[in-house]
Structure 1
Amino acid sequence: MNRDKYVLVLCALLGLTGECVAQRKYNTRFIPYDLVTVGAGSSTYFGDLASYKHPFKSLTTLPRWNIGLGYTRQFTPHFSARVMFTWARITGDDYTYSNGNLDKYSFQYARNLHFRNDVKEVAIVGIYNFLADGINPYRRAKITPYIFGGLAVIGHDPEARTPTATNGNNSEFVARQWVKLQPLHTEGQDQSETIQAYSRISIAIPIGFGIRYKLNDSFNVGLDIGFRYTFTNYLDDVGGLYAGSGNMRGLTTLMADRRFEYDAARVNTSRYTAAQQLFQDQPALFVTTERSKNELGKDSYLLSNFSIQYVFPGRIKCPPIR
């Protein structure tokens, strides 16, 4: 009888040990989890009106804003995927960029173009965390740097301000009003079958890096910086040559060539004296057909984004009953 009891106790212990081992093995499997992200930050444009050759100046001259909403799925301790919608305003202005250094930026000062563009971006990116998460969302890394890259679709529609009454007296427009540039075909896109109007939808490649910090079981904060290389040269409505004025009419004529305006086209500051002197010193700037000097041929923008992330509670799976 005693021997039977010992056998039963031994079997029970062995069964319990096996169950514990099975449970331990089961619980070491990573449990995927989800996050919702809300963020805001700054946006900076690179292109014809903000040179790639002078990145610091381009970054600091006319930064604007962005806001975003995203969803992330953490698939493994290191890898996640994120889909995010971002609304970013970008701006460029020849006068602001060149004012104070006409010797270096005489082409831009003479050109006197500007724009603003509200870019709507939907991006899907893969994210690699350098520090691994734990087995469930509650055991995620306290802090982790990461890198990301992916693909985005963007919609954009550049605008510029109409001239003052002094610079362009015309009954077809209201002075100093923001108007959309793409329908105006400012580079003669409607004058020749060989020059097609540019699309207001394009592809972009987002790449960047960031850092994520765990506040508590339910919330993270994060900061990431991402560069967007686009496949369009017309975020700024500038990409080719000055169009011939023969077939241009009304507002299109005025918006296509701003070189002879007395005032800075965007900020409405007088540039009469400086422009007159520049015309005497470098008259070729005011007759050249060259409108674009984009070194890379495509426009880009940089987004920095501070975000708050809500972590959905993960479902902790219990071991199966055997």
Structure 2
Amino acid sequence: MKIYHYVTASLLTALFMGGTAAESSAQRLYNGFAPYSSVSFGVGSSHYYGDLAGYRRGLRATYIMPRWNVGLGYTRQFTPKFAARAMFTWARISGDDYTFNKVDPLKYVQQYARNLHFRNDLKEFSITGIYNFIPDGRNSNARAKITPYVFGGLALLAHSPEARTPYNESSPDSSRRWVKLQPLRTEGQGQPGKDKPYSLVTLAVPVGIGVRYTFNESFNIGFEIGYRYTFTDYLDDVGGNPYPDLNSLQGIAGEMSNRRFERIAARKRNGPDRYAVLEDLFNNGTAEEKAAIQGALETPLRGGSGILRDGYVLTNLSIHYIIPGKIKCPPIK
């Protein structure tokens, strides 16, 4: 954790020092421009991309299981075109092999048979630079009416994926509980020859576009969409590792690691019998289809290739309050 404390301190120091330098430079380069600050609050949607919703099926991943986010930010406008923003965002992402692939189980039989799901509440602290395509006037009262912009920066991300325990017909009230997955080490992490347990804190790179509308002297309304590329492959608890030896896992870890033979889709309340679909396809399928289903149920591979890390997209509709600045009166001659 020390490295992440160091990164956080470095980000805050860089923001302060960079802001001081930028403001000093702005006063020299943009004579007469008065830097100003604003605070913002916004809400929007979140969209996950990873092993349970692949980048190659990005359009479906975008709309099939959207979740929510809320954010609180502070922005300093240093020049008519450049600003810096510190922002805290709480976002939920989610994925489900059954929901994502039920429209065509045979076409995506590997994922449908795998039957994994998760949810993850992300706590993101980001520092980004903002470039306005339309410059402001000399002060906050002379802001452009409509301002399109781009942004990019660095974020510190805390997360902890969860999933529901399997449905138990003999005790339905106690089954389907949300449990945290990282402590279960569902891919055998920490065992000899395996990866060490993944960290619940990581870095992300946010980039995106947005537009602001000047509502009046005190308020802006904004909308933006941004992608976060993370430095972890475990937002969904699924890396590129094979299934572990279930005898080496303790407690419910084995049940949460290999869910291919569960009959009921556990994520949804009153979930359907998803295994009956595989049985029907197998019993009535061609030899090729039967081989594909059998292969999906027997493959040692639990996750993807791991070439691309997990990521997510956030949309945000926000309101910005312009903090009143000091009024500078011209000198009397």
Q: TM (normalized to structure 2)? A: 0.84
Alignment of 1:94-243 (within 5 A): 94-166=97-169, 174-192=174-192, 194-239=194-239, 240-243=241-244
Code of the residue aligned with 1:67 in structure 2: it is: V
Once the two structures are superposed, what CA deviation does each residue of 1:168-193 show, in whole Å capped at 9, x if it has no partner? x79xx931100000000000013225
C-alpha distance 125-49 of structure 1, shift in aligned 2 (>3 A): same
Q: Distance in 1 between matches of 2:252 and 2:174?
A: 10
Deviation at 1:230, TM superposition (A): 0.1
* Displacement of 1:77: 0.1
RMSD between aligned residues: 1.9
Aligned residue-pair number: 293
Q: 2:84 aligns with which of 81, 87, 92?
A: 81
1:278: Cα distance to partner?
Answer: 5.0
Local SS of the residue matching 2:252: helix
**Aligned equivalent of 2:295:** 284
Which of 26, 32, 36 is the aligned partner of 1:33? Answer: 36
Alignment of 1:52-67 (within 5 A): 52-67=55-70
Q: Which moved more, 1:191-200 or 1:149-158?
A: 191-200
Query: How many angstroms does 1:163 deviate by?
Result: 0.6
Is residue 315 from structure 1 mapped to residue 326 from structure 2 by the alignment?
yes
In the alignment, does 2:272 pair up with 1:272? no
**In the alignment, what sits opposite 2:246?**
245
Residue of structure 2 in register with 1:258 after alignment: 259
Which 5+ residue runs of structure 2 have no aligned equivalent? 1-29, 284-289
The answer for the alignment partner of 2:315 in structure 1 is 304
Shift of 1:67: 0.1
Question: What is the identity, as a one-letter code, of the residue corresponding to 1:72?
Answer: T
Secondary structure, aligned partner of 1:54? helix
Deviations 1:93-142 (A, max 9, x none): 00000002112211111000000000000000000000000001000111
For 2:135, what is the secondary structure of its paired residue?
coil
| In structure 1, C-alpha distance between the alignment counterparts of 2:276 and 2:106, rounded to whole Å | 15
Higher radius of gyration, 1 or 2? 1
Deviates more, 1:183-192 or 1:227-236: 183-192
Q: Sequence identity of aligned pairs in percent?
A: 53
Whether contact under 8 Å (1:136, 1:314) holds in the other structure is no
Measure, in 2, the Cα distance between the counterparts of 1:278 and 1:226.
40
Q: Structure 1: state its 5+ residue gaps.
A: 1-26
Paired AA for residue 71 in structure 1 = Y
User: What per-residue deviation string (whole Å, max 9, x for no partner) do you get for residues 265-288 of structure 1?
Assistant: 312211132122456612111111
TM-score (norm 1): 0.87
DSSP 3-state at the match of 2:233: coil
Return the alpha-carbon distance in structure 2 between the equivalents of residues 256 and 295 of structure 1: 18
Q: Report if aligned partners of 1:33, 1:74 keep a CA contact under 8 Å in 2.
A: yes
Cα deviation, residue 313, structure 1: 1.5
Write the deviation string for residues 207-228 of structure 1: whole angstroms up to 9, x where unpaired: 0000000000000000000000
